[in-house]
């Protein structure tokens, strides 16, 4: 039997492969992975129940799997919404270059605040627009400077409790309210700023920097994951990587 593969077949295989690759990147390191493992286990049990004649169990699982598409939408509604937003924004393939000046100003400001135990939350908008969060804050529309960032987050100032959102290399707004992460397994040592950083990184492709007021620790949140205890070199390298490449 001759197996003929044409250009159309190669394109078809390539598109499916790319789709699976993006799905794997989307769920990698998130709680969705454990849900996928659970669904795979149910499928295995379904076939085993059919093989060994466990009719009641097989009937129950057959009805469950018959609604699998609906179950997947319910379980992964947040991930699906995020993926569609990224696709619409073009951030699945777009790459941006972060300027050295912007990187220097942010890193030096964060190091200064960590040393002085000044709490801070700085969010970088990427592909998915954060217009709703920006609208709830106070419009700034100014260039990024370490002096301005430190002033905004200085204790007892009107905007120090909210987040600063940086769009296209400029401070778009301050005092912004972000969605909090609903993760139940978060460490008790993480405060509201950390939960807000994780929340915005779970719902969008934004990157969030957090300075702990109590511990003076610098953390970075991306895709629902928090990297803590960053020093200057580690912060600079990580921040450049996540802002210039979609991961």
Cα–Cα distance measured from residue 209 to residue 228, given in angstroms and rounded to the nearest whole number: 10
Higher confidence at residue 69 or residue 123?
123
For residue 66, name the pLDDT band (cuts at 50, 70, 90). Answer: confident
Q: Does residue 99 register a pLDDT over 50?
A: yes
- For residue 176, give the CATH number of its domain: 3.40.1700.10
What is the predicted pLDDT for the residue at 15? Answer: 86
Q: 133 lies in a domain?
A: yes
Looking at the structure, tell me whether residues 37 and 156 fall in a common domain: no
Q: 95 lies in a domain?
A: no
| Residue 210 CB partners (closer than 8 Å, separation 6+) | 120, 121, 193, 194, 197, 218, 219, 220, 221
Question: Which domain-ending residue is among 89, 113, 136?
Answer: 89
3-state secondary structure at position 56: helix
**Terminus-to-terminus CA distance in the chain, angstroms?**
42
What is the predicted pLDDT for the residue at 244? Answer: 82
Number of separate domains in the chain: 2
For residue 229, name the pLDDT band (cuts at 50, 70, 90). Answer: very high
Higher confidence at residue 127 or residue 167?
167
Cα–Cα distance measured from residue 21 to residue 123, given in angstroms and rounded to the nearest whole number: 27
Q: What is the mean pLDDT of residues 11-21?
A: 81
Q: Does residue 202 register a pLDDT over 50?
A: yes
Q: 1 lies in a domain?
A: no
Question: Which domain-ending residue is among 49, 68, 89?
Answer: 89
Q: 118 lies in a domain?
A: yes
Query: Model-level pTM?
Result: 0.67
Cα–Cα distance measured from residue 228 to residue 236, given in angstroms and rounded to the nearest whole number: 13
What is the predicted pLDDT for the residue at 88? Answer: 57
Q: Does residue 29 register a pLDDT over 60?
A: no
Q: 159 lies in a domain?
A: yes
The chain-wide mean pLDDT, for the chain, equals 83
What is the predicted pLDDT for the residue at 203? Answer: 85
Q: What is the pLDDT of residues 136-148, one digit of tens each?
A: 899 999 999 999 9
Query: H/E element holding 186?
Result: none
Looking at the structure, tell me whether residues 115 and 81 fall in a common domain: no
Distances (CA, A) of 44 to 5, 61, 65, 66: 32, 10, 12, 15
What is the predicted pLDDT for the residue at 46? Answer: 87
Strand 120-124 and strand 163-167: the pairing is: parallel
Looking at the structure, tell me whether residues 68 and 122 fall in a common domain: no
Of residues 192, 150, 200, 195, the one with CA closest to residue 171:
150
Q: Does residue 231 register a pLDDT over 90?
A: yes
Q: Give the number of other CB atoms < 10 A from CB of residue 228.
A: 16
Contact 199, 178 (CB under 8 A): yes
Looking at the structure, tell me whether residues 53 and 139 fall in a common domain: no
Looking at the structure, tell me whether residues 117 and 227 fall in a common domain: yes
Range of the domain at 85: 7-89
For residue 63, name the pLDDT band (cuts at 50, 70, 90). Answer: confident
What is the predicted pLDDT for the residue at 144? Answer: 95
Q: Does residue 215 register a pLDDT over 80?
A: yes
């Amino acid at each position: 039997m001759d197996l003929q593969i044409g250009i159309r077949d190669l394109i078809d295989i390539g598109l499916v492969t790319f789709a699976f690759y993006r799905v794997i990147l989307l769920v990698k390191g998130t709680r969705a992975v454990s849900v996928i493992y659970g669904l795979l286990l149910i499928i295995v049990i379904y076939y085993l129940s059919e093989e060994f004649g466990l009719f009641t169990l097989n009937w129950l699982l057959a009805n469950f799997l018959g609604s699998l598409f609906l179950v997947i939408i319910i379980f992964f509604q947040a991930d699906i919404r995020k993926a569609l937003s990224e696709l619409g924004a073009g951030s699945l393939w777009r790459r941006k270059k972060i300027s050295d000046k912007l990187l220097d100003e942010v890193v030096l400001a964060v190091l200064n605040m960590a040393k002085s135990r000044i709490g801070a939350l700085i969010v970088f908008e990427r592909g998915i627009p954060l217009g709703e969060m920006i609208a709830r804050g106070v419009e700034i529309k100014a260039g990024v400077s370490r002096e301005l960032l430190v002033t905004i987050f200085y204790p007892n100032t009107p905007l120090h409790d909210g987040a600063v959102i940086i769009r296209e290399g400029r401070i778009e707004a301050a005092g912004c309210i972000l969605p909090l992460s609903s993760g139940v397994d978060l460490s008790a040592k993480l405060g509201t700023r950390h939960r807000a950083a994780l929340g915005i990184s779970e719902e969008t492709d934004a990157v969030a920097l957090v300075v702990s007021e109590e511990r003076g620790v610098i953390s970075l949140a991306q895709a629902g994951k928090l990297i803590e205890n960053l020093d200057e070199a580690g912060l600079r390298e990580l921040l450049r990587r996540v802002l210039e490449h979609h991961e």
